[in-house]
Each structure stands twice: as structure tokens, then as C-alpha cells.
């Protein structure tokens, strides 16, 4: 009924009329149209790839050869990588069309997309509210219908939280399931490229094509990618765990809680087994996560000194002054805060008290989480404690960090999780639930969400 070229023209027009959302920081208009014409020819010749015609946007921390990749930071202004991220290249090889790069929190550090050198992305459902972060531009673009799907990165919920806030599907695969080669590092033992889509099947095919070992990433798993796109028609019955402490959390919105309890009752009526369990480590998750990720951020971002990498100050001075001025000018407030915190917990006299202790807590969380899956297939929770909040509403960093209370679990344990749209609040904003499984059990998550997708209408 259409062509790749008309599809791209349609999205370019929508992007133009939705500039106020600030979802895209750069649009590859001519390049996308040229690629679309090329793929139209391939379709006629029968040589097109599996993603021929799919139009995607990419988060601004995923390298794309000879295209600006800035992590929405002045530190990397006008930087153009000399190679393309493995995950993105695998999609390009299957004829995906990349229409532009998307807004995000600077260096993926933030939960609202308010910490971007390009300014905040706006929630398509209500422009007075945030999109969530750090993949806020990716979520806004998909929710507003500016592209078919988008790539994001998830270090502690940066795909799933904005997906929940914007009423779409956000998948974070198992750590190592998708290569991190070409992803600008934040927390190297947490980061994972993920997908933001309007349906489960799109997430499945993107995961299937991006997954698999990469010799350029030593942390990528040497496991063959599964055929995630081949959905099972069998109506499975799942054993689902629910952490009691999640429902007792003080910050959990009462409407979200009521909807979640109703959802549990529906699952029971459909024949699924619900097991209420205790997980006393819930309160330790956010502190452990922020100690470890800020420590890794401090290490990863130390390369940006203005000498070999990153913006160099124009203020003359000695070596120390040059580095100090370059970083002061290049990094934003939130990135500086996390670098300082990470440097502190790694410093002499505090390493044992903070960093080493957080590592032990992380190991304990992993061990206890593995025990859950001995008797359960899935772990279910709200994706976020509430719906999106108004721009500027959370000035206290601790209050902002506590928004991650349900999402950091999957990153600490290195396990896959997916946020899916689950309802509409009385404030007219969407919210989602999150389902998590054991390592490399993405197929189980997708099968479950496919079943529930039938009863969900995107808002």
C-alpha cells in the first residue's frame, strides 16, 4: 500500500510538525530519503533485508560512523565517530532506515531528560510533563509516532522508565545479550542497549537481529541469538513472583498500586500462579546502584580531559588548569555531581566503606534473585512508582534517584526486563508494569507480554 520513500516522507512531516517535543536533536532527512529509495529497489528485486522499510531513531550515545554522536553533552560537541556501533550496524545490514539521533540526558545520566545540552524532551501526552530518562527522546519519538521504533540504552531503567511514562514498550535485554561496542560508556557493568517500540513483535525482531556475540566487546555473551520473532501461539501459564515490599513502598502511587493489584487478580483468573515473596534487599538497591554506577562513571569519564578527548577550554593555563576548565565547561551539573560522588566512593579511606560494600550487596542481590527463579518464571512489579512528573518538579537529586527503585534490580542482577503499557491515570498520563526474567530468558518475557498485549490499547 505504500513505499519506503513515502514512509520516510510521512515521518519527516510528522517530525517537522512535532519539533516542540524536542525529541530529535538531528534529522537525517536527505540521507533517509536516499536510503528509502535504495531499499524500494531492493524490495522490487527481492534482495531486501528483514527490516526493509522500518524507520528508527537512535539515542545520541550510540555511535554512527561519520554522524555526530554527542551524548547530548557540550563535552562531545560535533564529535563524529569513525565506526558504527555493532548493534546498529546489524540493523543497517538488514535495511533499517535511520532517520535521526534522539535527545537524552547527558551521557545517559538522568531520569527525566532534563539534563541535556539540547534542553528537555517533552512528553507527547502532556507537554508540561517529562518523558523520563535517560532515553527520553527515544520514548517521545516512538510515542508521538515520529518513527517506527527507537534504540536507547539502559543502565538503571533508562529504557523502561521513559517507556512507562510515555505509554510504550521498553525492553532491556540480559547484560551481554547485545554488544556494547560503540555505546558511549556510563556504567560499563550495567549498560545495555535496548529497544523502545509500539508493540512486542517489533521489540522481538530488533532484539533477534542485534543479539549475539561480538569480538569487539569482551563482555558480550557467546550465545547464539534466539528466534525471538517467532511467537508461540500456545497460551502458556506462568509462575509469577511479586515482591511484597514493592507494594508497600511509600512512594508508590495509589492508583498505580490499585491497577497493579487488579492486574494480579486478572492473571490469577487466567490460570497463572502468583507467588507473593519477600525481598528485604529492596531498600539497598538504589544506594548500591548509585555508588557503583557513579564509581564507574568517574572512571569512564576521566578520559575527557580536553587533551586527547573532549572539549578543550580556550582559557590558557597550566596542565591542571586546562583539565579543570575543560571539564567545568564541558560537563553539565548532573554529570559533575555523579563524577564527584564516584570519585569520593573510590577514594582512599572510603573505598572499603562504600564501593566494596556495594559490590557485596550487588552479589547478594544476584544470589537472592537467582533463588526467585528456582520456583518462578517471571518477576512482576510496577515499572515506576508513579506516572511522569512535571518539568522541574524534582529538584532534589535523591528524590529523582528514588524513581529508579523498581528498575535498578534488573541492572544490578544483569537480567532482562520489559516495561509494557498497563493503564491510564486520572491525570490522563500512562503508566506501565515491568516483567523480569532470569538471564537470557527474554523469550519468556516476550511470550508473556504478547499474551497481555492483546488486552492493552496504546494510549
Residues serving a catalytic function are: 59, 134, 158
Residue 166 is inside which H or E element, if any?
helix 160-166
Q: Could you give the CA distance from residue 459 to residue 434 in angstroms, rounded to a whole number?
A: 17
- Strand order, beta sheet including 24-27: 24-27, 97-102, 55-59, 149-153, 193-197, 169-172, 417-424, 430-437, 378-382, 239-243, 273-277
Which helix (H) or strand (E) element contains residue 8? helix 4-17
CA-to-CA dists, residue 138 to 110, 196, 335, 428, angstroms: 14, 7, 20, 21
Runs of H (alpha helix) within 347-430: 357-372, 397-401, 408-413
Closest CA to 151 of 106, 211, 88: 88
C-alpha to C-alpha distance for 159 and 415, rounded to whole angstroms: 14
- Interatomic CA distance for residues 142 and 138, integer angstroms: 6
| DSSP-derived 3-state class of residue 194 | strand
**Which run of H or E residues covers position 322?**
helix 319-330
Amino acid at each position: 500500500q505504500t513505499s519506503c520513500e513515502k514512509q520516510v516522507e510521512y515521518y519527516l512531516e510528522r517530525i517537522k510538525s512535532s519539533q516542540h517535543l524536542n525529541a530529535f536533536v538531528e534529522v537525517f532527512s536527505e540521507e533517509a530519503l536516499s536510503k528509502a529509495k535504495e531499499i524500494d529497489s531492493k524490495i522490487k528485486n527481492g534482495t531486501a533485508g528483514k527490516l526493509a522499510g522500518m524507520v528508527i531513531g537512535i539515542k545520541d550515545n550510540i555511535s554512527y560512523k561519520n554522524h555526530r554522536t554527542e551524548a547530548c553533552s557540550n563535552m562531545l560537541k560535533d564529535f563524529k565517530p569513525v565506526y558504527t556501533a555493532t548493534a546498529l550496524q546489524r540493523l543497517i545490514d538488514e535495511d533499517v532506515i535511520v532517520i535521526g539521533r534522539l535527545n537524552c540526558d547527558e551521557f545517559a545520566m538522568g531520569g527525566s531528560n532534563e539534563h541535556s545540552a539540547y534542553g528537555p524532551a517533552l512528553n507527547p501526552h502532556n507537554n508540561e510533563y517529562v518523558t523520563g530518562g535517560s532515553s527520553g527522546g527515544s520514548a517521545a519519538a516512538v510515542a508521538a509516532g515520529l518513527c517506527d521504533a527507537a534504540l536507547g540504552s539502559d543502565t538503571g531503567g533508562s529504557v523502561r522508565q521513559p517507556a512507562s511514562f510515555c505509554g510504550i514498550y521498553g525492553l532491556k535485554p540480559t547484560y551481554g545479550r547485545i554488544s556494547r561496542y560503540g555505546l558511549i560508556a556510563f556504567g560499563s557493568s550495567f549498560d545495555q542497549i535496548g529497544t523502545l517500540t509500539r508493540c512486542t513483535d517489533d521489540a522481538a525482531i530488533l532484539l533477534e537481529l542485534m543479539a549475539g556475540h561480538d569480538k569487539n566487546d569482551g563482555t558480550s555473551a557467546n550465545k547464539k541469538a534466539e528466534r525471538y520473532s517467532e511467537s508461540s501461539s500456545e497460551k502458556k501459564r506462568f509462575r509469577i513472583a511479586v515482591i511484597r515490599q514493592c507494594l508497600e513502598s511509600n512512594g508508590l502511587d495509589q492508583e498505580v498500586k490499585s491497577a497493579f493489584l487488579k492486574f494480579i487478580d486478572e492473571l490469577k483468573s487466567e490460570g497463572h500462579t502468583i507467588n507473593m515473596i519477600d525481598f528485604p534487599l529492596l531498600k539497598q538497591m538504589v544506594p548500591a546502584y548509585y555508588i557503583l554506577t557513579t564509581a564507574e562513571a568517574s572512571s569512564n569519564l576521566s578520559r575527557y580531559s580536553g587533551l586527547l578527548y573532549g572539549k578543550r577550554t580556550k582559557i590558557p593555563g597550566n596542565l591542571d588548569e586546562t583539565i579543570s576548565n575543560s571539564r567545568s565547561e564541558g560537563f553539565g551539573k548532573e554529570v559533575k555531581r555523579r563524577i564527584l560522588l564516584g570519585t569520593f566512593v573510590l577514594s582512599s579511606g572510603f573505598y572499603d566503606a562504600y564501593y566494596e560494600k556495594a559490590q557485596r550487596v550487588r552479589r547478594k542481590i544476584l544470589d537472592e534473585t537467582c533463588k526467585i527463579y528456582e520456583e518462578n518464571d517471571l518477576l512482576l512489579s510496577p515499572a515506576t512508582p508513579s506516572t511522569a512528573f512535571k518539568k522541574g518538579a524534582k529538584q532534589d537529586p535523591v528524590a529523582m534517584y528514588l524513581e529508579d527503585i523498581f528498575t535498578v534490580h534488573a541492572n544490578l542482577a544483569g537480567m532482562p526486563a520489559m516495561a509494557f503499557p498497563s493503564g491510564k491515570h486520572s491525570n490522563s498520563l500512562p503508566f506501565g508494569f515491568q516483567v523480569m526474567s532470569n538471564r537470557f530468558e527474554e523469550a519468556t518475557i516476550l511470550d508473556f507480554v504478547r499474551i497481555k498485549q492483546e488486552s492493552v490499547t496504546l494510549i
